[in-house]
Amino acid sequence: MLFWYFLPVLLAAYKLFNFDLEDTYESKDGVYKAYKTINGLSPGPPIIVDEDEWVEVHVNNHLQTSAAIHFHGVLQNGTPWADGVPGVTQYPIASGKSYQYRFQAKNQSGCLWYHSHFRGYLSDGLYGVLYIRPRKERKRPYHHITLNIEDQELLMQLEKNPSFLIADDSFKLPMDDVVMRMFRYGIDPLCIQSVLINGKGRIYCHPERRFRKLASKNPNLRHIPYFDCLGCLRDDSIVHYKGSTLDHNALEFPGYSAPCKPTYSLLHIHYTNNTDWQYINVLNAGGQYTKLFSIDDHEFYVVAIDGIFVTPQRVSSVVLPVGSRFTICVETRKEQHENANLPFFIRFTTTHAPQFVEGLAILQYGPPPKNDQESDCSLLGKANLDLYTNGIRYTDLDGHLIEPNRKAIWPQQTRPYEEQNKLKHKSAADVTFPFYLHRFELVQFSMFRDGSQLPLHMELKKPLLDSLAEGEFSQLKLLPAILQPPVRKGQVIDLILDNYKHINHPVHMHGHFVHVISYSDKENFPYKTVQEAIENGYTNLNLEDPPYLDVVLVPVGGHVVLRFEADNPGIWLIHCHNIGHLMGGMGAVLLESLDEIPQTARN
Ligand SMILES: *[C@@H]1O[C@H](CO)[C@@H](O)[C@H](O)[C@H]1NC(C)=O
Ligand SMILES: *[C@@H]1O[C@H](CO)[C@@H](O)[C@H](O)[C@H]1NC(C)=O
Ligand SMILES: [Cu+2]
């Protein structure tokens, strides 16, 4: 194999991470299932580096299948071939082979993550966090949280070694089976078995009357005739879609889950270690559901979204679309709670139909017990968890606030704090691409009005970057989901994403963070360009202080407009982060500054 690097790469010192990918069969929520692990772990080991440091991730694939690792939120400026997308930047890493990713954590910081970008294997456990410690010169927002200098210094300390709470949607079957069912029977992988937090969880069975009660408060649910014991609602308009005659019970269609058996496996416990503040990165790594996050009896401060510092807000909970990260600071002083010696629940709850399911972890004051047997807080052993609360519980099983006057924020409601992350280009864009997110068959998804898709088999095809390097430009015109024409360096790009209906789509952009300059959950964008909207005084525009994100939830029947500058030569995927939707074709490819893409470093 030929090793070829260009000069800066040669001179750099790398922080090395060795990843051994392996198949396992284990129980994480009380039921055995096949998982894929990294160094025996799922979530995999955290990658923690300093800003501007070079990183090398050496992946050894011992799985029975191919794999690839994408570093979500890493801009890969100067290293587009390290983006980890089969068919775009590399071939999948075959079973038994190794692959080196080399990139720089250049001029960016905070909580990012990594995950498989091949087939649905992300949701078999191939994911973990990637945290870049912010460099000294960055402006922090901590003095907006506390005026106490010691507390500010403590937060600066904790920022170096933060904690993580990572939620995952655990499907009942391994992803190859889930996807097989999806394409064979037209069943979108909808209902999950449990929400894992840091790889731990339980199966909770709730009586139907529990859901009935919630439905009575929630107008969207009143018409639902039945909830199964996993909280999956039976919606007859879906069941009889196109007059299909399926064995709904055998296929566990929503509303038909097999009788639920609760489990009592260990939950993740976050120990405060008697520190007055907790600095936590909260990630939704799931393949399916937007989640509401809260900690009983603890309001907290949001300080960053997707790794970007924001103007802090004090909230009771946050809403995490799939792929999003909130960084939060939680004050943990015993005297502020009535029963600080008892555990508090940490909750991730799905927010939308068709399933109401909650994952729980525990916040425990003090250090972990001395004996290394993890205490499971005997109190919580077989107790009816649904009824246990210590202090105020903010969120309910339907993913809504219990007291509506409390505050829950979306990523779209944050504002970047540092000057460099604010919007600079406020006038007309140079290029506008329109998108139309919709489903046109049971499991066929598209980002384009004409139904163009990113075909699944593309993952096995010659990577687009390779085609480009070999001068096969015609390859870059083959797929209708490749945006034409390529954008050029320095151009300002607008993406208008209209969502037709059905369901929300968390759209992720590779190679760029984006400003959300227009948003509505009520209507599609009524103009051809942002300029036209400005001229007509469109009130949903925000060119003053738009949020800056790498995943943007596009609401049902609504729209977002995303703006970025073409400052990162490469070939970048734009796609829905819901695994079923991505596998169903919901993606597009941006060609950016093709003549400036650096020579590919061959592996
Ligand atoms: C508390 O201490 C334990 C054991 O030293 C450590 O594993 C854990 O990460 C600490 N918790 C926090 C929030 O720092
Ligand atoms: C870092 O990126 C910002 C934009 O996000 C830019 O304004 C700034 O000049 C960059 N700094 C360096 C040192 O490259
Ligand atoms: Cu989607």
Distance between Cα 162 and ligand 1 center (Å): 10
- pLDDT digit string, tens, across residues 59-87: 999 999 999 999 999 999 999 999 999 99
Q: Would the pLDDT of 329 be above 70?
A: yes
Whether the pLDDT of residue 598 is over 90: the answer is no
**pLDDT bucket at 228, cuts 50 / 70 / 90:** confident
Please report which ligand is nearest the Cα atom of 548: 2
Q: How far is the CA of 270 from the centre of ligand 1 (A)?
A: 8
Confidence (pLDDT) at 521: 95
Q: What is the mean pLDDT of residues 427-432?
A: 96
How remote is the CA of residue 79 from the centroid of ligand 3, in Å? 28
Residue 376 has pLDDT above 70, yes or no: no
Distant-in-sequence, close-in-space partners of 413: CB < 8 Å, separation ≥ 6: 313, 547
What is the atom index within ligand 2 of the atom nearest the CA of 513?
5
In the reported structure, the alpha carbon of residue 513 is separated from the centroid of ligand 2 by a whole-number distance in angstroms of 13
Contact, 227 vs 212, CB < 8 A? yes
**Res. 212 pLDDT band, cuts 50 70 90:** confident
Q: What is the pLDDT of residues 569-588, one digit of tens each?
A: 999 999 999 999 999 999 99
Supply the residue whose CA is at minimum distance from atom 13 of ligand 1.
Answer: 272
Contact by Cβ (8 Å): 121, 168? no
- The Cα 331–Cα 300 span in angstroms is 7
Residue 197: per-residue pLDDT: 98
Q: Quick one: which ligand is closest to 443's CA?
A: 3
E runs forming strands in 87-223: 98-104, 110-116, 127-133, 163-170, 194-197
The finding on whether 163 has its CB within 6 A of some atom of ligand 1 is yes
How confident is the model over 502-513, as a mean pLDDT? Answer: 95
**Gap from CA of 588 to ligand 2 centroid (Å):** 27
Distance CA 358, CA 334 (A): 26
273 lines ligand 1 (CB under 6 A): yes
Average pLDDT, integer, range 45-56: 98
User: ∠ at Cα 200 (362, 73), nearest 5°?
Assistant: 95
Ligand 3 centroid – CA 506 distance (Å):
6
528 C-beta neighbours (distance < 10 Å), count: 11
pLDDT score for 2: 41
How close is the Cα of 581 to the center of ligand 3, in Å? 5
Determine the average pLDDT of the residues in 512-538.
97
Pocket test residue of 154, 273, 328, 363 for ligand 1, highest count of atoms within 8 A of CB: 273
Neighbours of 161 (CB within 10 A): 11
pLDDT exceeds cutoff 80 at 308: yes
Kindly state the tokens that stand for 324.
Answer: 């999003």
Predicted pLDDT at 4: 46
Looking at the chain, the whole-number percentage of residues with pLDDT higher than 90 is 77
pLDDT at 243: 58
What amino acid is encoded at 469 in this protein?
Answer: A
Rounded average pLDDT over 521-537: 97
Rounded Cα–Cα distance for residues 113 and 127 (Å): 7
DSSP string, 508-577: EESS--EEEEEEESS----SSSHHHHHHTT-TTB--SS--EESEEEE-TT-EEEEEEE--S-EEEEEEE-
Contact 64, 37 (CB under 8 A): no
Q: What mean pLDDT, rounded, does the chain reach? A: 92
- pLDDT tens digit sequence for 405-429: 999 999 999 999 999 999 999 999 9
Predicted pLDDT at 100 = 96
Window from 204-213, 369-378, 454-463, 543-552 with minimum mean pLDDT: 369-378
pLDDT in tens, 7-17: 455 556 899 99
Q: Is 536 in the pocket of ligand 2 (CB under 6 A)?
A: no
User: Which residue in the block uniquely carries the two structure tokens 């799922």?
Assistant: 42
Cβ–ligand 2 contact at 138 (below 6 Å): no
- Residues near 75 by Cβ (< 8 Å), separated by ≥ 6? 106, 108, 511, 512, 513, 568
Report how far apart the first and last C-alpha atoms of the chain are (Å, whole number): 7
Q: Please, what are the domains in the chain?
A: 2-138 (2.60.40.420), 175-194+203-251 (no CATH), 269-413 (2.60.40.420), 423-596 (2.60.40.420)
pLDDT band at 317; cut points 50, 70, 90: very high
Confidence category of residue 233, pLDDT binned at 50, 70, 90? confident
Higher pLDDT, 454 or 188: 454
Query: For the whole model, what pTM was predicted?
Result: 0.95
Q: How far apart are CA 384 and CA 205, in angstroms?
A: 10
107 pocket-lining for ligand 2 (C-beta < 6 Å): yes
Residue 478: per-residue pLDDT? 73
User: Which atom of ligand 2 lies at the shortest distance from residue 421's CA?
Assistant: 5
At 188 the pLDDT is 74
Cα 367 to middle of ligand 1, angstroms: 7
User: How many Cα atoms sit within 13 Å of 361 on the Cβ side?
Assistant: 22
248 pLDDT tier (thresholds 50, 70, 90): confident
Query: What does the pLDDT read at residue 7?
Result: 47
Number of H helices, E strands in the chain: 8, 32
Inter-CA distances, 493 with 74, 346, 431, 432, Å: 20, 39, 5, 6
Going by CA atoms, what residue is nearest to atom 1 of ligand 2?
A: 107
Ligand closest in space to the Cα of 162? 1
pLDDT over threshold 90, residue 211: no
151 C-alpha to ligand 1 centroid (Å): 18
- Cα angle value 589/520/586 (rounded, 5°): 25
156 vs 145: CA distance, rounded Å:
12
pLDDT for res 1:
39
> CB burial class (10 A; 0-12, 13-18, 19+) of residue 367?
exposed
- Of 51, 74, 106, 107, the residue with max ligand 2 atoms within 8 A of its CB, to mutate for a pocket test, comes to 107
Q: Contact at 8 Å (CB) between 76 and 103?
A: yes
Which atom, in ligand 1's list, is nearest to the CA of 158?
14
271 Cβ inside 6 Å of ligand 1: yes
Instruction: Work out the average pLDDT over 283-296.
Output: 97
